[in-house]
Homo-oligomer: A and B are copies of this chain.
């Protein structure tokens, strides 16, 4: 009898573990889709590819669906399995990460919409903007990819290395903004298109912010340390302590 109970308990635990790893898989799938959305959106803008921009708009719906689906799974798992400690942390961490992924998707959508609105007006200095956008996008997408990778391995130490170790994105962003302002001042006819480039840069900077949030959620998920308002130094210390 006791043996049977143990068997049932073991079965429940196994099932729960499977559900948790399915949850992470779904999160990574959503992450992959969102990464593609940012990539496509940037490419559509840089190459003035309105067809690709429209595809990004259409896929936005899929991102939203995944958002709702994963969130429901989180609620269902908490309600049914009543997890504590690390399992609960994992589920809540996933729930928060989904929100950031969804907002990265939003920014991709905004960039795609810029492509469509730019298609209707003549470009000035488009080339300058393109290289700036490409440059910043490379950094941001690369960081997103690294964090998703770390998520797949639930590796918080790797995350600390990636997160906040450099201010590159911020510096690139500020430099690009300054350059666009210079262009505007030198040739006021470029103001409108330069502004569009600036909005795209701003969106990419936002993506970078959300990637940082993802890193923080992952550290919380794995280590149980809330590092959202810590400096890099505090963050390293806190993660070491655990």
Contacts and interface: CB of A to CB of B under 8 A. Distances in A.
Interface string A202-242: 10000000000000000000000010110000000000000
Nearest to A106: B209
A35 interface: no
Contacts of A84: 79
Interface of A is mostly: helix
A4 interface: no
A interface, size bucket: 20 to 34
A211 B162 CA distance: 31
A92 B191 CA distance: 44
B181 A68 contact: no
20 contacts: A61-B229, A64-B228, A64-B229, A67-B228, A68-B226, A72-B226, A75-B88, A75-B92, A78-B88, A78-B92, A79-B84, A79-B88, A181-B195, A184-B184, A184-B191, A185-B188, A185-B191, A188-B188, A191-B191, A202-B202
